[in-house]
Structures are given as C-alpha cells and as structure tokens.
Amino acid sequence: MNNLTKIYGEGENRVKALDNVSFSIEKGEIVLIVGSSGSGKSTLLNMIGLLDRPTNGKIFIDGIDTTILDDNNISSFRNKKLGFIFQFSNLLTDLSVLENIMLPRQIAGTNHAAEKDARDLLKAVGLEDQMTKRANKISGGQSQRVAIARGLINKPSIVLADEPTGNLDSVTSETIVQLMKSMAKKLNQTFIIVTHDRQHFGDVDKVITIKDGRAFEGDQPSEMEVIA
Ligand code: ADP
Ligand code: ADP
C-alpha cells in the first residue's frame, strides 16, 4: 500500500476514511487490522480486495500495480488472486456444502479438479463428513469453516477476512482462529484479517492499527483502551 487515501462524498458530506496509508505485507504473513468502529478498517479491506478504488495512492499485489487495471481486468485479477471470508458465511442454502465450496472455481471458469480440491479443503477444515449436507443444515461454526474452505478454493495469493469471528461465540471463535492460522501456515497463503477479536489471535506476524484513517504498525493496547 503506497500512500493510500480514500475520500467519500464531497462538500459537507466529505469524509477522509483513509489518510495517506502506507505499509507492506510479505507472502505468507498473517496480518490483523484492528481499530475502533469507523476508523477505516472496512475501507482499507475494500481497497486491498479491489472492491473499491482509492482516491489517491497505489496498491501493488504480486508486483502488479492494481490501480492501473480497468474494471474487467480488476475482476479477473480478483478472482485469481484473492479469496474472501466475511462475518456471515453467506452460504447458498440450496446447495450442498461441497457445492458451495466449488462455486468460486466455477465462477472463475476453471472447473478443473474442482471437486477433488473442494474435498481436500473440506478434509482440512474437518468437515469431510458434512460434504453432502445442505448448507442450511449445519451449525454457525461449521458454516464459517465452509466459508473458509470456499475462500481458499481458487488458491488465492491473499485471503481477506472481515470480522470472520464476529458472529460466533468465544469457544467457536477460538477454533476458527486456530484453523485460519494453521491453514495460512500450511498453504503459505497471506491472510489479512479485520477483527475486534485481537486476543483470540494471539501471536501473529503483523498488527496494523487504524486510527482516524491513519495506519500504525503494531498493537497499541493503551491507546485502544482509551478509544474503546
Ligand atoms: P470501520 O470498518 O473501521 O468501522 P469504515 O471503513 O466502515 O470503518 O468507515 C470509515 C469512515 O468512512 C466512517 O466515517 C464511515 O462512515 C465512512 N464511510 C465508509 N464507507 C462509506 C461510504 N461508502 N460512503 C460514505 N462514507 C463512508
Ligand atoms: P464495520 O463497522 O463492521 O466495519 P460498517 O457498518 O462501518 O461496518 O460498514 C458496512 C458497510 O457500509 C461498508 O461496506 C462501508 O463501506 C459502508 N458504509 C459505512 N459507513 C457508510 C456511510 N456513512 N455511508 C455509506 N456507506 C457506508
């Protein structure tokens, strides 16, 4: 991220959501983005996820300047390079667990080995035995495991997660956090995670704290307490 600024609206509605943010993330790192509500975390994740464009600044992914890509190229780049995990699993309830995981592969138009890879991922997230169940017949924690597998099916360079434990109880959160950490290490994939759940993640490679649209590297517990 190179001098990223994002401004929403204009005139009296003008909001500077990100203010000249720069940092870098190495391949395979687990990075947390923390900060109080309204600080700019989602905006930052939307920029990195190429879901929205910065007002100023550049975003390089695998050495490519994504800010010069047109909308078509951005979509295919996103499908190939990025995986998403959200607060709510957003599974399609008419489909089976296995079909949900295969979906991003089908959307990307590369069906090759989709079922085998989906089965392997299901095994990795510990849900092999739920494969044929419909997605509305499994628990919240299981749904989030499926969402993680779905986020990984296209072998993305970077996995972006927005409050992946935000809708889970403490015990389930713990298992989801451990799962994400072990998958990141096993697959050498970069995970960038927006979370209010700093404690559950324990030791990670990098923490970026966003405060009033500015980014700081590292935990700032004393400051965070004051903000909260
Ligand atoms: P966080 O994810 O940390 O809660 P956000 O990135 O959602 O913060 O928001 C940062 C600031 O930008 C807030 O003041 C928010 O109201 C504003 N904002 C976010 N998205 C938009 C938008 N689409 N239009 C206008 N203002 C927005
Ligand atoms: P969170 O605090 O959980 O990150 P928010 O409620 O801030 O989530 O934002 C949810 C969505 O609404 C985001 O996509 C964000 O860009 C958008 N959003 C946030 N604030 C505004 C706003 N003031 N105007 C329009 N959209 C907004």
pLDDT 10s per residue in the chain (228 long)? 999 999 999 999 999 999 999 999 999 999 999 999 999 999 999 999 999 999 999 999 999 999 999 999 999 899 889 999 988 888 999 999 999 999 988 888 877 788 999 999 999 888 999 999 999 999 988 999 999 999 999 889 899 999 998 888 888 888 889 988 988 888 889 999 999 988 889 999 999 999 999 999 987 644 544 444
Buried b (16+ CB within 10 A) or exposed e, 144-154: bbbbbbbbbbb
Number of domains in the chain: 1
Q: State which ligand 1 atom lies nearest to the alpha carbon of 46.
A: 6
Range of the domain at 90: 2-226
Angle value at C-alpha 40, between 226 and 64, nearest 5 degrees: 135
Q: The CATH number of the domain where 169 resides is what? A: 3.40.50.300
| Nearest ligand, measured from the Cα of 9 | 1
The pTM of this model reads 0.85
Rounded CA-CA distance 108/101 in Å is: 13
State in Å: Cα 38 to ligand 1 middle.
6
Q: State which ligand 1 atom lies nearest to the alpha carbon of 39.
A: 3
Neighbours of 137 (CB within 10 A): 11
State in Å: Cα 215 to ligand 1 middle.
15
State which amino acid sits at residue 194: V
Q: State which ligand 1 atom lies nearest to the alpha carbon of 18.
A: 10
